[in-house]
Amino acid sequence: MTRILFRGGRVLDPSCERDEIIDLLVEAGRVTAVGTDLRVDDAELVDASGCWVMPGFVDLHSHLREPGQEYKEDIATGGRAAVAGGFTAVACMANTQPVNDDPATTDFIIDRARQDSPARVYPVAAATRGLEGKVMTEMAALVDAGAVAFSDDGKTIMDSGVMRHVLEYSRLVGVPVITHAEDRTLVANGVMNEGAVSTRLGLPGNPALAEDVLVARDLMLAEFTEAYLHVAHVSTRGAVELIRRARDRGVHVTAEVAPHHLTLTDEAVAGYDTHAKAAPPLRSESDREACCEGLRDGTLDAIATDHAPHAQHEKELDFSEAPPGMIGLETAAAVTLELVRAGVLTPLEWVRRLSTNPARILGRAGGGLGEGQVADVTLLDPARDWIYDPAKGQSKSRNSPWAGQRLSGRVIATFVDGYRVYDVDRGPLR
Amino acid sequence: MIQQSLLGIEDLEREDIERILDTAEHMVEIGRRDVKKVPTLRGRTIVNLFFESSTRTRASFEIAGKRLSADVVNFSPSGSSLKKSESILDTARTLDAMDPDVVVVRHGVAGVPKRIADVLSAPVINAGDGAHEHPTQALLDCFTVRQEKGRIDGLTVTIVGDILHSRVARSDIYAFLKLGAEVRVAAPPPMIPPCIEQLGVKAYTSLREAIDGADVVMALRIQNERLTGAFFPSVREYSATFGIDRAKLRYAKDDAIVMHPGPVNRGVELSHDLADHRPSVILDQVRNGVALRMAVLYLYAGRRPVGKRETE
């Protein structure tokens, strides 16, 4: 039997509001004891002093690109990038080739993850066939196959009638419908946030209004249908406010925000760096502040990476043609620790948004380190500085706006099911 | 001090602009000679890298280069030879290996000249990128105004039309402001870019107010096909409200001049009569364009020693 004793770490467990220096014992894939001065003879000892011991992070939003675009990423490399970033589970979006809109593709992803990925992989299935926004997918069969949620992420279901029925039908299976909320007619040919910077750069603008309008619509539809709506990558002040008000009146809605929308603004586009191109785009400072405030007050439940790998030759296209998105699994923790240092979140609230809340949203194990809970554990040294070099990272792609930057806070080791799957010195162990 | 590349007027200081305009004065004289050629750039290679089709600007750069005795190569990867998916940086690296002395870049998307300049060892001259900048157009506009008015300081310049999609508007705004003019823009509201006043201009939706007391009225080309219906209801309504004719011009100063970057949609942004006759100075702009581009090529291409790579 594998036994691991985490000794002397600061255990941060939002599921039971624990924040104290204490030992943690893991046996056979479960947490079996939390206490001071635990003594176990034959356990592997992990010296966690100076480190944070946390339930493994759960990413609600990543693009693992398999099947179909393995030159960008695959389930194995995406899974390794996940554990290197402290994520023990990742939900992967359906915009693969073929689209994950039938149980066979969902099966394939789960099967491949079981063989190749050190992290748990939860497939998000398409809400409509081919992500075309017209015909809904076989949700019951997809959930049976293992789909955890439905989303046409990358695209928006523009037809309000279709979205209404998708939400209504999702009540049959009881999983969230994740909306990528951008009104395509308002986005038009926009490639960056519309505002003073887009005017100066001469790039077509994508207004915050495009997100606000669609979030407002989807909240109204969720309220009307009494379905469970999850809003992906919130990026605007307006959307945060709309979600806050909907939550107040009892709409069943949760929401996530990406590290880049919490820490960067459209000023990052100033040199026409396509690594700063994302969908939704990097917004204004006022939007960024509103996202931080929404995360602080709980309007935004989770930090989700929107890990979106793209090959170098794709990011070398002109700014309009280059695909949007950036990789984020390996940097999310360090980048968002800025919010802890800035006093926006306590360490415990930070862990809640990276682990406990996303696990709850997906209805999956994890998110806590109480006795009997699954032993998905992330060990992080909050004071350790490192320089992020995507070429030395685990992802196949290198499209990161943080390349070459000094980051503070590093994942030291990651454990899934009580097994060490990542070690900062040795890399991924699977 | 003039930088390695000319990517936009935003990056220039007033002295840089004046130096380019002063240099262009000398180039005008060369254009009046029987033999319109000087050996200044002999042995230099200028590549006109035009991803977006252009006859006027390319011809202007080509003539400018040839009058300075440079070898001018036109490279137009637009159309069939360049699939959209080919990386612009690949094109730039390929070109760099051929060791040009200056590369003139035109592209339909903002920022491409800047990104090419980042990987190229030769200087890059931006010949227009998306709705970002078209610096040589603004410089020749300033040159023409200076020629007509003797100064730019204190003048009022009104730019009328599709400000949103116009690189000429942005470059003109920067250039005229830096040289001390007051700049106004006027357009139907959907064609006024957000936060445009942060650039230091005043935005108007009334043409009459915008050209009231103006010394220079600059009309911009309206792209009928693309914009009609989406940004304004019809060509007829546009020309009635924002088209410049002699009646509307009465609100400007008596000696106001009319400019246009070309090609003109006659009867749309300018009346037929104004397109051809004073106070419009459109052909002077074109003529000055050659001299101005000679000055730019001289100042930017002439700075690299022949046969020696500066950046190695």
A345-367 per-position pLDDT tens digit: 999 999 999 999 999 999 999 99
User: B-chain residues within 8 Å CB-CB of A318?
Assistant: 88, 107, 109, 111-112, 115
The full DSSP string for A215-282 is: HHHHHHHHHHHT--EEE-S---HHHHHHHHHHHHTT--EEEEE-HHHHH--GGGGTT--GGG--SSPP
Q: Is residue B186 part of a domain?
A: yes
Q: Is residue B124 assigned to a domain?
A: yes
For residue B6, is it left (φ>0), alpha (ψ between -120 and 50) or beta?
Answer: beta
Report which residue type is found at A45. L
Neighbouring C-beta atoms of residue B265, cutoff 10 Å: 18
pLDDT tens across B251-306, in order?
999 999 999 999 999 999 999 999 999 999 999 999 999 999 999 999 998 665 55
Is the Cα dihedral A186, A189, A194, A196 positive or negative?
Answer: negative
Hey, is the C-beta of B229 within 8 angstroms of any chain A C-beta? no
- Rounded to a whole number of angstroms, the distance from the CA of A272 to the nearest CA of chain B is 6
Q: Supply the pLDDT for residue B84.
A: 58
Overall number of domains in chain B: 2
How far is residue B87's CA from residue B8's CA, in Å, rounded to a whole number?
23
Residue of A nearest to B166 (CA): A202
**Whether residues B74 and B197 fall in one domain:** no
Active site residue A306: yes
pLDDT of A395 higher than 90: yes
Is-cis flag, bond preceding A280, omega within 30?
yes
B306 lies in some domain:
no
Alpha-carbon distance B247 to nearest alpha carbon in chain A (angstroms):
32
What is the domain extent for residue B52?
Answer: 9-133+287-301
**Candidate list A306, A376, A381, A417, residue with the active-site label:** A306
* Contact check, Cβ <8 Å, B170/A202: yes
Find the closest chain B residue to A190 by CA distance: B109
Of the two residues B223 and A126, the one the predictor is more confident about is: A126
Structure tokens at A335: 């980048």
- CB neighbours (10 Å) of residue B246? 12
User: Which of A194, A195, A318 lies nearest to residue B109, judging by beta carbons?
Assistant: A318
**B157 and B210 co-located in one domain:** yes
CB contact under 8 Å between B132 and A199, yes or no, is no
Read off the pLDDT of each residue in A4-15 and give the average, rounded to a whole number: 98
Angle formed at CA A45 by CA A39 and CA A50, multiple of 5 degrees: 100
Q: Mean pLDDT score of chain A, rounded to an integer?
A: 97
Verify whether the Cβ–Cβ distance B194 to A194 is below 8 Å: yes
Tell whether B13 is covered by a domain: yes
Do B193 and B95 share a structural domain? no
The pLDDT value recorded for residue B312 is 37
Residue contact A195–B130, C-beta within 8 A: no
Contact: B111, A205; criterion CB under 8 Å: no
The answer on B114 and B188 residing in a single domain is no
Whether residues B228 and B113 fall in one domain? no
Q: Is B4 among the domain residues?
A: no
Residues B187 and B270 in one domain: yes
d(CA B198, CA B170): 12
> What's the gap in Å between the CA of A349 and the closest CA on chain B?
37
Measured between alpha carbons, how far is A81 from A393 in angstroms, rounded to an integer?
7
Interface of A to B at Cβ within 8 Å reads 194-196, 198-205, 207, 271-272, 313, 316-321
Residue B147 lies in a domain: yes
Of A199, A271, A321, the CB nearest to B194: A199
The single residue listed with the structure tokens 């196949």 is: A396
Closest approach of chain A CAs to the CA of B85, in angstroms? 7
Q: Are residues B34 and B52 in the same domain?
A: yes
The answer to whether the CB atoms of A313 and B87 lie below 8 A apart is yes
Q: Which pLDDT belongs to residue A89? A: 98
Q: B131: nearest CA in chain A?
A: A202
In a structure prediction context, what are the per-residue pLDDT tens digits for chain B, which is 312 residues long?
567 999 999 999 999 999 999 999 999 999 999 999 999 999 999 999 999 988 899 999 999 999 999 999 998 876 544 555 678 888 899 899 999 999 999 999 999 999 999 999 999 999 999 999 999 999 999 999 999 999 999 999 999 999 999 999 999 999 999 999 999 999 999 999 999 999 999 999 999 999 999 999 999 999 877 777 789 999 999 999 999 999 999 999 999 999 999 999 999 999 999 999 999 999 999 999 999 999 999 999 866 555 444 443
Percentage of residues in chain A with pLDDT exceeding 70?
Answer: 100
Same domain for B236 and B215: yes
Name every chain B residue with its beta carbon within 8 A of the beta carbon of A313.
87, 90
Note whether B110 contacts A272, CB cutoff 8 Å: yes
Q: Does B134 lie at the interface with A, CB-CB under 8 angstroms? A: no
Residues B276 and B189 in one domain: yes
The answer as to whether B41 is a domain residue is yes
CA-based nearest residue in chain B for residue A201: B132
CATH number at residue B172: 3.40.50.1370
Q: What is the pLDDT of residue B287?
A: 96
Contact A321 B112 (CB under 8 A): no
Residue contact B114–A194, C-beta within 8 A: no
Whole-number Cα distances in Å, B299 to A126, B4, B5, B247: 57, 10, 10, 42
Query: Is residue B150 domain-shared with residue B123, that is, in the same domain?
Result: no
pLDDT of residue A1: 62
Q: What is the pLDDT of residue B311?
A: 44
- Ramachandran class of A31: left when φ > 0, alpha when ψ lies in -120 to 50, beta otherwise: beta
Domains of chain A: 3-53+373-428 (2.30.40.10), 56-362 (3.20.20.140)
Residue B113 resides in a domain: yes
Comparing CB atoms, the residue among A200, A203, A271 nearest residue B130 is A203
pLDDT, mean of residues A205-225: 98
B82/B164 same-domain check: no
Report the C-alpha dihedral over residues A212, A213, A218, A223, rounded to 10 degrees: 90
Model confidence pLDDT, tens digit, residues A318-352: 999 999 999 999 999 999 999 999 999 999 999 99
CA distance, residue B167 to nearest chain A CA (Å): 7
Verify that B95 and B169 share a domain, yes or no: no
pLDDT at A430: 74
How many CB pairs below 8 Å do chains A and B form together? Answer: 71
Alpha-carbon distance A336 to nearest alpha carbon in chain B (angstroms): 29
